[in-house]
Amino acid sequence: MNALLPTLLDWLQQIGYPVLWVTVFVAAVGLPLPTVLLLLAAGAFASAGDFNLTLLLLLALSASVGGDNVSYWIGRLWGTKALNWLERPRRHPLISPQVVARSRREFEEHGGWAVFLSRFLISALGGVINLLAGADPYPYRRFLILDAVGEALGVGIPLALGYLSGASWEALGSLLGALSGLILALLLVIALSVYLFTTLRRAQAERARTRETQEAPVMVTPQIQPRKHPSGNLPL
């Protein structure tokens, strides 16, 4: 994607604000584009007097929130049907309906953090999180609030850093790219560790319940023999 950066920078300098808005919007929908580097460069150009920093911020914020909403509603329209289909019991499911149901419950509980953090800390997952939020479906009003607050940081931080760094924005962009990759790898390791730990605990609990069931004493109800009538014919 960095190969596109020189072209985007050239268009930004020639055409101006519309290039920034379209690029940020398309990236928010889900197409991987170097928006952080473009925002850094736009901030640096603003420090040189080529752009207005406040206008850049408003345009980038509206584009990012608009693109996030598009991908959210794509997930709401088509992703919800897919998840509902996966939850149906089948003989040989590729994904267990219980796994899908549990994932939906966990996203309902913790999805807000995923939406918020993916706006600026792990932006590479932003498009996927939008689709999942729409497919779950995560409450739209809550999504919109978290999205707007997170995107304010997501576009404001690189613009401000580019404005402050000036001509050194490229070196800063390389540093931010390496830091973002490190954070993403760390989060994946943590998520995998939590998943393995939870799976292990669940398997141990299941084995313990099975062992208790097998070792439980079987209660035998004694059978009462009917007494006979003194005549020897009819039972009492």
* Tally of CB atoms within 10 A around 38: 25
Does residue 53 carry a pLDDT above 80? yes
What are the residue boundaries of the structural domains of the chain, listed by start? Answer: 2-213
Cα–Cα separations (whole angstroms), residue 106 to 15, 21, 100, 114:
45, 34, 10, 11
Local structure of residue 32 (DSSP, 8 states): -
pLDDT level of residue 232 (50, 70, 90 thresholds): low
Contact 60, 25 (CB under 8 A): no
pLDDT digits (tens, 9 = 90+) for 72-120: 999 998 877 777 666 666 644 556 666 666 667 777 777 888 899 989 8
Does residue 23 carry a pLDDT above 70? yes
Local structure of residue 159 (DSSP, 8 states): H
Contact 24, 67 (CB under 8 A): yes
Contact 133, 72 (CB under 8 A): yes
Task: Give the residue among 130, 104, 135 at the shortest CA–CA distance from 116.
Answer: 130
- What is the average pLDDT value for the chain, to the nearest integer? 81
Q: What's the average model confidence in pLDDT over 132-145?
A: 90
Q: What's the average model confidence in pLDDT over 28-41?
A: 91
Does residue 70 carry a pLDDT above 70? yes
Question: For the whole model, what pTM was predicted?
Answer: 0.73
Give the span between the Cα atoms of 216 and 208, in whole angstroms.
Answer: 12
Q: In terms of C-beta density within 10 A (0-12 exposed, 13-18 middle, 19 or more buried), how is residue 51 classed?
A: buried
More confident residue, 161 or 102: 161
